[in-house]
Amino acid sequence: MKEVVPLDTIESRILYIRGQKVMLGKDLAELYGVETRVLNQSVKRNMKRFPKDFMFQLDETETEKLVSQNVMPHKKYFGGSQPYAFTEQGIAMLSGILNSDRAINVNVEIMRAFVRIRKMLISNASLARKVKALEKKYDEQFRVVFEAIYSLMDASEKKTNKKIGFNRER
């Protein structure tokens, strides 16, 4: 099956806010092919489906931060209200209230993008553990080398106390 939206496009719109991977309502609406106000109205009519860990509204500071980081061009990008951010579970819940074929197909692609990101994070964590283990192993080996170098330096300092050369006073 051909992708409705390329995974790279979806992944580029996944943000990290409040310690969670989220997508903004405006971006989701664009991907689903609906107006942001339509998505927001659907969400407001079904608020019981969106607890705090599924969706939250950004505050002024978070919105300003997104603008300053060039994630979006200006606050007007959101049409005058603070944007909603949807977690992976919230996005899955959207599929139940937006019933168009496009929304369903896009939702499938979004879920695949989240799974792919999760796999990359797990892989990176595993790699980080291996690097730390190597670091510990080599730090120990280099400690021995440095101790040997320091002891050689100490020994050479002790030898320099004697004068080198011919002594005429005998």
Residue 45's CATH number = 3.10.260
CB-based contacts of 98, cutoff 8 Å, min separation 6: 32, 34, 39, 42, 104, 107
CB 84 within 8 A of CB 43: yes
Neighbours of 48 (CB within 10 A): 6
The secondary structure element, H or E, covering residue 42 is: helix 36-45
The tens digit of pLDDT for each residue in 128-141 reads 677 677 767 766 66
The tens digit of pLDDT for each residue in 102-123 reads 888 888 888 888 888 888 878 7
Asked if residue 156 belongs to a domain, the reply is: no
Which structure tokens are listed for 19? Answer: 């310690």
Q: How many domains does the chain have?
A: 1
Asked if residue 138 belongs to a domain, the reply is: no
Asked if residue 89 belongs to a domain, the reply is: yes
Asked if residue 108 belongs to a domain, the reply is: yes
Asked if residue 54 belongs to a domain, the reply is: yes
Task: Give the structural domain span for 25.
Answer: 7-124
* Beta-bridge partners for 133: none
DSSP 16: E
Cα(147)–Cα(139) distance, rounded to whole angstroms?
12
User: Does pTM surpass 0.85?
Assistant: no
Cα(29)–Cα(35) distance, rounded to whole angstroms?
6
> What order do you get walking across the sheet with 20-24 strand by strand?
15-17, 20-24, 84-87, 55-57
Asked if residue 1 belongs to a domain, the reply is: no
Asked if residue 135 belongs to a domain, the reply is: no
- The yes-or-no verdict on residue 6 having pLDDT over 90 is no
Mean pLDDT (the chain) is 79
Cα(27)–Cα(57) distance, rounded to whole angstroms?
14
Asked if residue 53 belongs to a domain, the reply is: yes
